[in-house]
Amino acid sequence: MNRRHFIQLATLTSAGFALSGTCAFADWKVRRPVNIILPYKAGGGTDSYARAVASAGDGLFPVPFVVVNKPGSSGMVGATEAARGRPDGTTVLLTSAGSFLLTSMLRDTDVTPLESFRIVAQIGKLTTSLMVPYDSPYQSLDDLVADIKARPGQVRWAHTGNGGFHNVAGQGFLDSNDLDAVGVPFKGGSATRAAVIGEQVSFGMIGIQQAAGFEEQLRPLALNSDTRDTFMTDVPTFAEAGYDAVDVSSPIIVFAPKDTPDDVVAALEAALKEITSSQAFIDAMAERGNAPVYLPGAEAEANLRAMKENAGPIISALK
């Protein structure tokens, strides 16, 4: 089953989900809108999560969620503004936490995800996929690895920028398997995808959702994940294909300013749990080829700390 057909199925079956009659946000005391600061331009994958939260939350709760795009400096402009926001539940940061973490590890930043914020919840996940042009001679990951070994330092691969989580995932795969290939950075997922389709490179490391709508131009060979993708279930993980990798993905996490009280964080967490289980949110994600992945704050924080430890050696090598 390809991704497009699965999305259609998911959209149909999501009608079977029903919201609880009890609103988890009923005790919310704030009477002003909750600003979701999104540290990227409108229209991207992370932005779609923020807008789905705002749309699905409309009418469920006594206050609206408003998406505020604050792009710049690899997400640090918006993150810094969010960290300085009022710690009363009216300001949150929704971001690609893997990118935020790795950026803060790669260079000195004013704020960091684990020291400047409280983690409210994870609501999604961006997973890196190794993709080749559809007509590539590489029919499997074994074929690609054999060519890299036969031509060390000659095979070119694309990623979305030095220090980004796709870059770290790709370099981690190469290093873990003693492979030597040349990384070529591009500006963003769409540019990286175009480079792979146009055969400017032999393969690319980009988000699995980038294949949606390009099934006849791209072929994913493996996922940098511990589980298969919800939609593209025929794509194996690196481990299933018989290769080592560094566990680096990018959870979509909602953060609150560091001094936000426990009861407010708990209320926001409950709100996000209800929103992400709603039919409206599930449908919005299915249209984008993304599946909701909800985790409570404590579990999301533990995973992010583990990612920091796993990515440490790769980041040190990139500095």
**φ and ψ at 130, to 5 degrees?**
-85, 115
- Measured between alpha carbons, how far is 10 from 212 in angstroms, rounded to an integer? 14
Interior/surface letters 285-297, b for 16+ CB within 10 angstroms, e for the rest: bbeebbbbbbbbb
Closest CA to 298 of 159, 150, 166, 118: 118
Q: What is the model's pLDDT at position 30?
A: 67
State the average pLDDT over residues 217-225. Answer: 95
Pairing of strands 203-207, 182-185: unpaired
Domains 3-126+250-318 and 128-241 share a fold: yes
Residues 118-138 have pLDDT tens digits of: 999 999 988 899 999 999 999
Q: What is the model's pLDDT at position 117?
A: 99
Mean pLDDT rounded to a whole number for the chain:
88
- Measured between alpha carbons, how far is 209 from 232 in angstroms, rounded to an integer? 9
pLDDT band with cut points at 50, 70 and 90 for residue 238: very high
Q: What is the model's pLDDT at position 213?
A: 84
- Measured between alpha carbons, how far is 295 from 272 in angstroms, rounded to an integer? 10
Q: Which residues pair with 10 in a beta bridge?
A: none
Q: 3-126+250-318 — its CATH code?
A: 3.40.190.150
- Measured between alpha carbons, how far is 31 from 57 in angstroms, rounded to an integer? 15
> Amino acid identity of 133?
P
pLDDT band with cut points at 50, 70 and 90 for residue 63: confident
Q: CA angle at residue 312 from 311 to 315, to 5 degrees? A: 85
Q: What one-character-per-residue DSSP string does 142-160 give?
A: HHHHHHHHHSTTT-EEEES
Q: What is the model's pLDDT at position 255?
A: 99
Q: Tell whether the model's pLDDT for residue 18 goes beyond 70.
A: no
- CB count in 10 Å sphere of residue 194: 16
Q: Tell whether the model's pLDDT for residue 3 goes beyond 80.
A: no
pLDDT band with cut points at 50, 70 and 90 for residue 269: very high
Closest CA to 289 of 239, 241, 218: 218
- Measured between alpha carbons, how far is 305 from 119 in angstroms, rounded to an integer? 12
| pTM, entire model | 0.78
Residue the block writes with tokens 């290769």: 243
> Amino acid identity of 288?
R
Q: What is the model's pLDDT at position 29?
A: 66
At the topology level, CATH places domain 128-241 in D-Maltodextrin-Binding Protein; domain 2 (3.40.190)
Domain residue spans in the chain?
3-126+250-318, 128-241
